[in-house]
Amino acid sequence: MDRTFILIEDPTRGPLLARALTEALGEPVLFLAPSQRPPAFPCDFLIAAELPGRCGLDLGFTLQQSSASYRILLWSPSPPDLYLWTAWRLGFAGYLDCADPWTENLRWLQAFRETGEAWPPPLRARVERFETAVGSRLRQLRPEEAERLADLARPISWKERACRWGISREGARRAAQRLCEKLGCEGPEDVVAWAWTYGLLKATSEGPIPTPALQLVLRVFSRPDSRGPSGHPKSAGEADRARAGGAPSTAF
């Protein structure tokens, strides 16, 4: 194999896990801390979706954009549907569930090394269901609307929301109603319940915020080169293929 295999994990468990993978796969798996600079030659990366102080999806996207020779595979225990969908929309090579049997994940890691892809059918099916249920609605969202969605989940007054949004109180109410209509919900309470149901919000000590995965994918959607002729967002992988002259595809 002429591609270096690199594991990016929590530093407290990453080195031990890299050694275990090296023994199980029969090839070197190098550990890299999230803050370390990756090598400049072709690499396959296995990245934990949850890293100390950083979203692994965001790190994976940064690496993917920095070099066309990098292939990105994410993993986490019992991944949320939003994470799986985001990885697919960003054009990653796949996603594994750490909670699955060790032997099963090893089989998919070998497939990743051989073919450059690793989408287990159950996770692929979850992506397809999520895309059918909410994909088109999420692609309409702007990053600032995700922030407003989180503000609707906060127990604050309309005056406070208006101040945070930089508009009048009545303007805030109208903006909230437009957001509800865009997402197919009747009102603020419905849209907040819908957002929690699909994992779009994250609880913090300072109140709800958009999940890092949602923030990332909406930033990508908002890029000028991420939209096709119809105006609909393409995946990051599709945008890259389009820049290279290839035909975009949303199929697995």
DSSP H helices in 154-221: 158-165, 169-182, 188-197, 212-221
Number of domains the chain contains: 2
What is the enclosing helix (H) or strand (E) of 112? helix 102-115
Share of the chain above pLDDT 70, in %: 88
CA dist., res. 21 & res. 15, Å (int)? 10
Q: Tell me, what's the pLDDT at 95?
A: 98
Element (H, E) at 5: strand 4-8
- Element housing 73 (H / E): strand 70-76
pLDDT tens per residue, range 169-219? 999 999 999 999 999 999 999 999 999 999 999 999 999 999 999 999 999
Provide the H-helix boundaries in the chain: 14-25, 56-66, 81-89, 102-115, 121-130, 136-138, 143-153, 158-165, 169-182, 188-197, 212-221, 236-243
User: Could you read off the pLDDT of 155-178 as tens digits, one per residue?
Assistant: 999 999 999 999 999 999 999 999
**Are β-strands 201-202 and 209-210 bridged in parallel, bridged antiparallel, or unpaired?**
antiparallel
Does residue 67 sit within a domain? yes
In a domain, 148, yes or no: yes
Total number of residues shown for the chain: 252
Average pLDDT for the chain: 90
| 201 occurs within a structural domain | yes
Residues 200 and 123 in one domain: no
Q: Which two tokens stand for residue 108?
A: 């998919």
Q: How far is CA 136 from CA 128, 132, 139, 249, in A?
A: 12, 8, 5, 16
- pLDDT of amino acid 1: 62
Confidence of residue 28 (pLDDT cuts 50, 70, 90): very high
Residue 204 covered by a domain: yes
pLDDT for residue 224: 74
Residue 227: is its pLDDT beyond 50?
no
Cα end-to-end span (Å), the chain: 24
Residue at a domain's end among 114, 133, 152: 133
C-alpha Rg value of the chain to the nearest Å: 20
143 and 47 part of one domain: no
- The structure tokens 């275990």 sit at 20
51 φ, ψ (degrees, to nearest 5): -120, 155
Question: In this structure, are strands 29-32 and 54-55 parallel, antiparallel, or unpaired?
Answer: unpaired
Q: Could you give the C-alpha distances from 131 to 4, 50, 125, 232, in angstroms and in order?
A: 33, 22, 10, 14
Q: What is the pLDDT of residue 252?
A: 57
Q: Domain of residue 16: give its range.
A: 4-133
